[in-house]
Amino acid sequence: MPSREPARSHPYPGALIVVEGIDGSGKSTQLKLLRRHLEAQGYSILFTEWNSSALVRDTMKVGKKKNLLTPTTFSLLHATDFADRYYYGILPALKAGMIVLADRYVYTAFARDTVRGVEADWVRNLYRFAAKPDLALYFEVPIDVSLDRLMTARARIKYHEAGMDLGLASNTIESFRIFQGRVLDEYARIADEHGLEVVDATTSIEAQQRDVRRLADRVLEEKRALRRIPA
Amino acid sequence: MSPDAMRPRRGLPRVAREETPGKLIVIEGTDGVGRSTQIERLAPWIETRGHAVVQTGWNRSLLVSKLITSAKEGTLLNKVTYTLLYATDFADRLERVVIPALKAGMVVVADRYVGTALARGAVRGVDRAWMQGIYAFAPEPDLTIQMRLGVDALLLRTLDRTRLNYWESGMDQHMGEDIYDSFIEYQGRMISEYDRLAEARGWKVVDAARSIAATQLEIRRIVAPLLGIPGDRIGLEPPPSPDA
């Protein structure tokens, strides 16, 4: 059986910082603010987002629209997307001494795919090639808070975001509550298993950002070979 | 049933083969060894003997076969994304074709199976344990037949029919000065990997150097006991080869 051990620390000069959390946890806002903070210090940065590679974009889109995806193929396509971004972006950037900021990382797959009924060990093995982050921040937030934020921001919850593919409820909001509630439970387990830094995402944006910057600065202090853009 | 109702709402389960009445027959072997020619003749013969046959083959999924084909036209793929896309194709076919057919008591004839994935991965230096973990959901075949041809004969047979192909020559692995050298090196290593798997997993090995009809007869002889087909029915309709 493949090991469930978290990956070992990577040997590269760069730094890998990732944010995790359910939709509406505010993690993207926090990562954007951290990026400004690091750019202001002249660091060379690579930013990468979950499910954004051109390789599988059309397949994912058609698969979602035509309902062709199963939990397993959904999981494998996300892994393909990740591997594409990892080998052509994240890994070269780490080797080049850049700071990689990832909006979602392997833990998103661990949480979501497990809730979709994919075996926990199987999905951990699937992502075994990925380096362990130097800092993984988990933005913890109750369902109601994230739901409020999402409803205010765009008034419509997406089909897969609500886990509608699982047939948990016919109502999107109700399905979102059940699905994301289960994802939260998984995240809690994962945070423990992989040592994610938990940030209370119900406090003010400024207070969270202070914590985030403190944690990031501490990690970066130990990285002597980080590349900076000449002033 | 609507596609939505048919869609599994759980991850791929590990299928206990003793619970599925169907039979899974796998034909493995290198590119150009004649697998599909043999399956074309094998499947109607099994049907003539009264068993329902479902065929499946590498890169035939609804979900990603077009993506794999187009991605291989460029230089988009690295060995990990290559592995993962084929695994997606495989999982899609398992869920939609192979597992339902096995549960329904049909004979599934698979043109390539996990062995091809493992062999290609091994030749490309992909972590073996990682791949085995990914493919752990694959139902065990009842029978795997390796069609075997040495690399020199394989090259001649390939050139007799078509031009050498970039991927089938392992050019992505920079294995030789030119496509000829690369083909010999790549397919040679693939044959070794198939041999290793055949040995470790108890596959039946068929010499593919003989005529289509002779090879077909040998394959039928191997398949017959699994399906309870009497030995005197092996050469019957349809004939092993149109020119037999």
> What pLDDT is stored for residue A102 in this prediction?
98
A210 or A147: whose pLDDT is higher? A210
In a domain, B242, yes or no: no
> What pLDDT is stored for residue B2 in this prediction?
42
Out of A119-133, A192-206, B82-96, B165-179, which region has the weakest mean confidence (pLDDT)? B165-179
In a domain, B11, yes or no: no
A224 or A10: whose pLDDT is higher? A10
> Exposure pattern of B152-175 as b/e (b: 16+ CB <10 Å)?
eebbebbeeeeebeeebbbbbbeb
Cβ pairs A/B, distance under 8 A: 103
Express each pLDDT in B215-236 by its tens digit: 999 999 999 999 999 988 888 7
Express each pLDDT in B158-195 by its tens digit: 988 888 888 888 888 888 889 999 999 999 999 999 99
Closest CA to A117 of A167, A161, A83: A167
Express each pLDDT in B145-155 by its tens digit: 999 999 999 99
Instruction: Flag whether pLDDT at B69 surpasses 50.
Output: yes
In a domain, B47, yes or no: yes
- Chain A CB contacts of B92 below 8 Å: 68, 70, 73
CB within 8 Å: B88 and A76 = yes
- Is the dihedral angle over the CA atoms A170, A173, A178, A179 positive or is it negative? positive
Out of A42-56, B32-46, B152-166, B177-191, which region has the weakest mean confidence (pLDDT)? B152-166
Instruction: Name the residue among B4, B88, B133 with its Cβ closest to that of A73.
Output: B88
> What pLDDT is stored for residue A2 in this prediction?
43
Residue of A56, A66, A76, A121 best to disrupt the B interface, most CBs of B under 10 A: A76
Contacts of A192 (CB under 8 A, 6+ apart): none
Out of A79-83, B1-5, B197-201, B216-220, which region has the weakest mean confidence (pLDDT)? B1-5
- Chain A CB contacts of B80 below 8 Å: 83, 86-87, 129
Whether the complex's predicted ipTM surpasses the cut of 0.95: no
> What pLDDT is stored for residue B76 in this prediction?
77
Instruction: Name the residue among B4, B91, B130 with its Cβ closest to that of A76.
Output: B91
Structure tokens, B103? 């549960």
Instruction: Name the residue among B71, B95, B133 with its Cβ closest to that of A55.
Output: B71
> What pLDDT is stored for residue A165 in this prediction?
87
Q: What residue numbers bound the domain in which B70 lies?
A: 20-229
In a domain, B6, yes or no: no
CB within 8 Å: A88 and B78 = yes
How many structural domains are present in chain B? 1
> What pLDDT is stored for residue B143 in this prediction?
98
Average pLDDT, chain A: 92
Express each pLDDT in B91-142 by its tens digit: 999 999 999 999 999 999 999 999 999 999 999 999 999 999 999 999 999 9
Instruction: Name the residue among B10, B78, B137 with its Cβ closest to that of A117.
Output: B10
Task: Match 């496509």 to its residue by tokens.
Answer: B179
In a domain, B113, yes or no: yes
Instruction: Flag whether pLDDT at A36 surpasses 60.
Output: yes
In a domain, B122, yes or no: yes
Q: Provide mean pLDDT across the span B46-53.
A: 96
Report whether the peptide linkage leading into residue B238 is cis, meaning its omega lies within 30 degrees of zero.
yes
Q: How far apart are CA B165 and CA B172, in angstroms?
A: 11
Instruction: Name the residue among A2, A80, A119 with its Cβ closest to that of B85.
Output: A80
Contact A201, A209 (CB under 8 A): no
Res. A40 pLDDT band, cuts 50 70 90: very high
Q: Provide mean pLDDT across the span A87-112.
A: 97
- Chain A CB contacts of B67 below 8 Å: 55-56, 58-59
Interior angle at CA B166, CA B87 and CA A61, nearest 5:
40
pTM: 0.90
Contacts of A60 (CB under 8 A, 6+ apart): A51, A69, A77, A81
Contacts of A126 (CB under 8 A, 6+ apart): A75, A76, A79, A109, B133, B134
> What pLDDT is stored for residue B170 in this prediction?
87
Percent of chain A with pLDDT over 90: 72
CATH of the domain at B143: 3.40.50.300
Q: In what order do the strands lie in the sheet with A45-49?
A: A45-49, A99-103, A15-20, A135-140, A197-200
> Exposure pattern of A16-30 as b/e (b: 16+ CB <10 Å)?
bbbbbbbbbbbbbbb
- Give the containing element (helix H, strand E) for A17: strand A15-20
Structure tokens, B203? 């596959």
Instruction: Flag whether pLDDT at B5 surpasses 60.
Output: no
- Chain A CB contacts of B8 below 8 Å: 70-72
In a domain, B9, yes or no: no
Task: Name the burial class of residue B214, with classes exposed (0-12), middle (13-18) and buried (19+) by CB atoms within 10 angstroms of its CB.
Answer: middle
Q: How far apart are CA B149 and CA B29, in angstroms?
A: 8
Res. A231 pLDDT band, cuts 50 70 90: low
In a domain, B30, yes or no: yes
Closest CA to A94 of A16, A8, A35, A38: A16
Helices (H), A90-159: 91-95, 106-115, 120-126, 143-154
Q: Provide mean pLDDT across the span A187-216.
A: 97
Contacts of B22 (CB under 8 A, 6+ apart): B101, B102, B103, B104, B105, B106, B107, B108
Check residue A133 and report its DSSP letter. P
- Chain A CB contacts of B71 below 8 Å: 55
Out of A38-42, A58-62, B173-177, which region has the weakest mean confidence (pLDDT)? B173-177
